[in-house]
Amino acid sequence: MENTKQEYRMTMPLLGDSFPQMKVQTTHGPVSLPGDFSGKWFILFSHPGDFTPVCTTEFVAFQKRYDKFKELNTELIGLSVDQVFSHIKWVDWIKDNLDVEIKFPIITGTEAIANKLGLIHPGKGTNTVRAVFIVDPKGIVRAIMYYPQELGRNMDEFLRMIRGFQLADKERVAIPANWPENELIKDEVIVPPASTVDQAREIVKHHDCYDWWFCHKKL
Protein backbone atom coordinates (compact mmCIF):
# COMPACT_ATOMS: atom_id res chain seq x y z
CA MET A 1 0.00 0.00 0.00
CA GLU A 2 2.79 2.44 0.90
CA ASN A 3 4.58 1.76 -2.39
CA THR A 4 1.36 2.43 -4.29
CA LYS A 5 0.86 5.76 -2.53
CA GLN A 6 4.47 6.71 -3.20
CA GLU A 7 4.02 5.87 -6.91
CA TYR A 8 1.03 8.26 -7.14
CA ARG A 9 3.02 11.04 -5.49
CA MET A 10 5.88 10.59 -7.94
CA THR A 11 3.83 10.45 -11.14
CA MET A 12 1.03 12.96 -10.67
CA PRO A 13 1.68 16.54 -11.83
CA LEU A 14 2.25 19.25 -9.25
CA LEU A 15 1.43 22.96 -9.27
CA GLY A 16 3.64 24.73 -11.77
CA ASP A 17 4.32 21.55 -13.76
CA SER A 18 3.41 21.14 -17.40
CA PHE A 19 0.24 19.09 -17.73
CA PRO A 20 1.35 15.61 -18.89
CA GLN A 21 0.94 15.00 -22.60
CA MET A 22 -1.59 12.32 -23.40
CA LYS A 23 -3.95 11.22 -26.14
CA VAL A 24 -7.40 10.39 -24.83
CA GLN A 25 -10.62 9.02 -26.25
CA THR A 26 -13.68 11.14 -25.53
CA THR A 27 -17.33 11.43 -26.41
CA HIS A 28 -16.25 14.02 -29.00
CA GLY A 29 -13.53 11.81 -30.48
CA PRO A 30 -9.78 11.67 -29.80
CA VAL A 31 -8.22 14.62 -27.98
CA SER A 32 -4.56 15.45 -27.36
CA LEU A 33 -3.86 17.06 -24.00
CA PRO A 34 -2.83 19.73 -23.42
CA GLY A 35 -2.09 20.50 -27.09
CA ASP A 36 -5.67 20.67 -28.38
CA PHE A 37 -6.41 23.36 -25.78
CA SER A 38 -3.31 25.42 -26.52
CA GLY A 39 -4.03 29.11 -26.00
CA LYS A 40 -7.01 28.35 -23.76
CA TRP A 41 -7.56 27.59 -20.12
CA PHE A 42 -9.12 24.23 -19.42
CA ILE A 43 -10.56 22.43 -16.45
CA LEU A 44 -10.20 18.66 -16.43
CA PHE A 45 -12.41 17.10 -13.78
CA SER A 46 -12.86 13.44 -12.94
CA HIS A 47 -15.94 11.84 -11.43
CA PRO A 48 -16.41 8.44 -9.73
CA GLY A 49 -18.91 7.03 -12.23
CA ASP A 50 -21.69 7.58 -14.73
CA PHE A 51 -25.33 7.14 -13.68
CA THR A 52 -24.67 8.26 -10.11
CA PRO A 53 -26.66 11.02 -8.37
CA VAL A 54 -23.90 13.39 -7.19
CA CYS A 55 -22.02 13.16 -10.50
CA THR A 56 -25.23 13.88 -12.40
CA THR A 57 -25.82 17.05 -10.36
CA GLU A 58 -22.22 18.09 -11.05
CA PHE A 59 -22.46 17.64 -14.80
CA VAL A 60 -25.70 19.60 -14.92
CA ALA A 61 -24.07 22.36 -12.83
CA PHE A 62 -21.02 22.49 -15.10
CA GLN A 63 -23.19 22.64 -18.22
CA LYS A 64 -25.38 25.40 -16.78
CA ARG A 65 -22.20 27.50 -16.47
CA TYR A 66 -20.52 26.34 -19.67
CA ASP A 67 -21.15 29.61 -21.50
CA LYS A 68 -19.62 31.55 -18.60
CA PHE A 69 -16.51 29.38 -18.75
CA LYS A 70 -16.26 29.88 -22.52
CA GLU A 71 -16.51 33.66 -22.03
CA LEU A 72 -13.37 33.27 -19.90
CA ASN A 73 -11.59 31.36 -22.70
CA THR A 74 -11.95 28.19 -20.66
CA GLU A 75 -12.92 24.71 -21.82
CA LEU A 76 -14.29 21.84 -19.75
CA ILE A 77 -13.43 18.17 -20.10
CA GLY A 78 -14.75 15.41 -17.84
CA LEU A 79 -13.25 11.99 -17.08
CA SER A 80 -14.08 8.70 -15.44
CA VAL A 81 -13.02 5.08 -15.89
CA ASP A 82 -16.35 4.30 -17.59
CA GLN A 83 -16.27 3.42 -21.29
CA VAL A 84 -17.35 5.85 -24.01
CA PHE A 85 -20.62 4.00 -24.65
CA SER A 86 -21.53 4.48 -20.97
CA HIS A 87 -20.69 8.21 -21.17
CA ILE A 88 -22.84 8.55 -24.30
CA LYS A 89 -25.79 6.73 -22.73
CA TRP A 90 -25.52 8.81 -19.56
CA VAL A 91 -25.35 12.08 -21.51
CA ASP A 92 -28.43 10.97 -23.46
CA TRP A 93 -30.22 10.16 -20.19
CA ILE A 94 -29.42 13.63 -18.81
CA LYS A 95 -30.80 15.26 -21.97
CA ASP A 96 -33.93 13.09 -22.09
CA ASN A 97 -34.78 13.27 -18.40
CA LEU A 98 -33.34 16.58 -17.19
CA ASP A 99 -33.51 18.59 -20.43
CA VAL A 100 -29.82 19.51 -20.22
CA GLU A 101 -27.47 18.86 -23.14
CA ILE A 102 -23.90 18.18 -22.05
CA LYS A 103 -21.79 19.97 -24.66
CA PHE A 104 -18.28 19.32 -23.36
CA PRO A 105 -16.33 16.07 -23.95
CA ILE A 106 -15.92 13.25 -21.44
CA ILE A 107 -12.76 11.14 -21.39
CA THR A 108 -12.68 7.37 -21.07
CA GLY A 109 -10.00 7.08 -18.42
CA THR A 110 -7.61 4.16 -18.69
CA GLU A 111 -5.66 2.87 -15.72
CA ALA A 112 -2.55 4.57 -17.13
CA ILE A 113 -4.32 7.95 -17.30
CA ALA A 114 -5.80 7.53 -13.82
CA ASN A 115 -2.38 6.69 -12.38
CA LYS A 116 -0.63 9.52 -14.23
CA LEU A 117 -3.05 12.05 -12.75
CA GLY A 118 -3.34 10.45 -9.30
CA LEU A 119 -7.07 9.84 -9.68
CA ILE A 120 -7.30 6.53 -7.82
CA HIS A 121 -6.94 6.87 -4.06
CA PRO A 122 -6.82 3.36 -2.56
CA GLY A 123 -8.35 4.50 0.70
CA LYS A 124 -11.45 5.65 -1.20
CA GLY A 125 -11.99 2.57 -3.39
CA THR A 126 -11.24 1.78 -7.04
CA ASN A 127 -13.26 4.54 -8.71
CA THR A 128 -11.73 7.86 -9.71
CA VAL A 129 -12.07 10.51 -7.00
CA ARG A 130 -13.48 13.96 -7.79
CA ALA A 131 -10.27 15.57 -9.00
CA VAL A 132 -9.99 19.00 -10.61
CA PHE A 133 -7.05 20.28 -12.64
CA ILE A 134 -7.03 23.91 -13.78
CA VAL A 135 -4.54 24.39 -16.63
CA ASP A 136 -3.53 27.70 -18.19
CA PRO A 137 -3.09 28.54 -21.91
CA LYS A 138 0.58 27.51 -21.75
CA GLY A 139 -0.31 24.06 -20.46
CA ILE A 140 0.85 24.76 -16.90
CA VAL A 141 -1.07 23.28 -13.96
CA ARG A 142 -2.31 26.18 -11.85
CA ALA A 143 -4.59 24.41 -9.36
CA ILE A 144 -5.32 20.86 -8.22
CA MET A 145 -8.21 19.87 -5.98
CA TYR A 146 -9.48 16.52 -4.74
CA TYR A 147 -12.94 15.82 -3.36
CA PRO A 148 -14.29 12.55 -1.92
CA GLN A 149 -17.10 10.67 -3.62
CA GLU A 150 -19.69 11.87 -1.12
CA LEU A 151 -19.13 15.62 -1.63
CA GLY A 152 -20.15 17.43 -4.79
CA ARG A 153 -18.12 20.38 -6.06
CA ASN A 154 -18.99 24.09 -6.23
CA MET A 155 -18.69 25.22 -9.86
CA ASP A 156 -19.02 28.91 -9.00
CA GLU A 157 -15.73 28.59 -7.12
CA PHE A 158 -14.04 27.37 -10.31
CA LEU A 159 -15.38 30.40 -12.18
CA ARG A 160 -14.03 32.61 -9.39
CA MET A 161 -10.66 30.88 -9.60
CA ILE A 162 -10.37 31.34 -13.36
CA ARG A 163 -11.29 35.03 -13.03
CA GLY A 164 -8.79 35.39 -10.20
CA PHE A 165 -5.97 33.66 -12.08
CA GLN A 166 -6.56 35.76 -15.17
CA LEU A 167 -6.64 38.98 -13.17
CA ALA A 168 -3.52 38.05 -11.20
CA ASP A 169 -1.63 37.23 -14.40
CA LYS A 170 -2.71 40.40 -16.19
CA GLU A 171 -2.21 42.88 -13.36
CA ARG A 172 0.54 41.08 -11.41
CA VAL A 173 -1.41 41.19 -8.18
CA ALA A 174 -2.61 38.66 -5.59
CA ILE A 175 -6.23 37.76 -4.92
CA PRO A 176 -7.56 37.85 -1.33
CA ALA A 177 -9.81 35.31 0.35
CA ASN A 178 -13.42 35.24 -0.80
CA TRP A 179 -12.65 37.77 -3.54
CA PRO A 180 -14.49 39.77 -4.79
CA GLU A 181 -16.26 39.93 -1.42
CA ASN A 182 -13.30 39.90 0.92
CA GLU A 183 -14.03 40.78 4.54
CA LEU A 184 -11.18 43.32 4.73
CA ILE A 185 -10.70 44.86 1.29
CA LYS A 186 -13.92 43.86 -0.52
CA ASP A 187 -13.32 43.68 -4.29
CA GLU A 188 -9.82 45.16 -4.21
CA VAL A 189 -6.65 43.19 -4.91
CA ILE A 190 -3.37 42.85 -3.03
CA VAL A 191 -0.27 44.67 -4.23
CA PRO A 192 2.89 42.51 -4.22
CA PRO A 193 4.96 43.39 -1.13
CA ALA A 194 8.15 45.39 -1.39
CA SER A 195 11.48 43.58 -1.51
CA THR A 196 13.70 46.48 -0.41
CA VAL A 197 13.55 49.23 2.20
CA ASP A 198 13.17 51.91 -0.47
CA GLN A 199 10.31 50.04 -2.12
CA ALA A 200 8.60 49.62 1.23
CA ARG A 201 8.71 53.38 1.77
CA GLU A 202 7.35 54.09 -1.69
CA ILE A 203 4.60 51.52 -1.75
CA VAL A 204 2.76 53.03 1.22
CA LYS A 205 2.73 56.42 -0.54
CA HIS A 206 0.75 55.15 -3.50
CA HIS A 207 -1.63 52.54 -2.05
CA ASP A 208 -3.96 51.95 0.85
CA CYS A 209 -2.06 49.80 3.34
CA TYR A 210 -2.52 48.08 6.67
CA ASP A 211 1.28 48.00 6.68
CA TRP A 212 4.00 48.05 4.01
CA TRP A 213 3.60 44.29 3.49
CA PHE A 214 -0.20 44.44 3.16
CA CYS A 215 -1.22 47.04 0.58
CA HIS A 216 -4.24 46.90 -1.69
CA LYS A 217 -5.81 48.76 -4.57
CA LYS A 218 -8.81 48.97 -6.85
CA LEU A 219 -8.50 48.01 -10.50
Q: Which residues are catalytic?
A: 55
**CA–CA dist 211, 150 (Å, integer):** 42
Rounded to the nearest 10 degrees, the angle between the axes of helix 53-64 and helix 155-171 is 40
> Which residues have C-beta within 8 Å of that of residue 10, sequence separation ≥ 6?
none
End-to-end CA distance of the chain: 50
3-state secondary structure of 53: helix
Task: Tell me how far the alpha carbon of residue 212 is from its chain's centroid.
Answer: 33
Beta partners for residue 217, in sequence order: 189
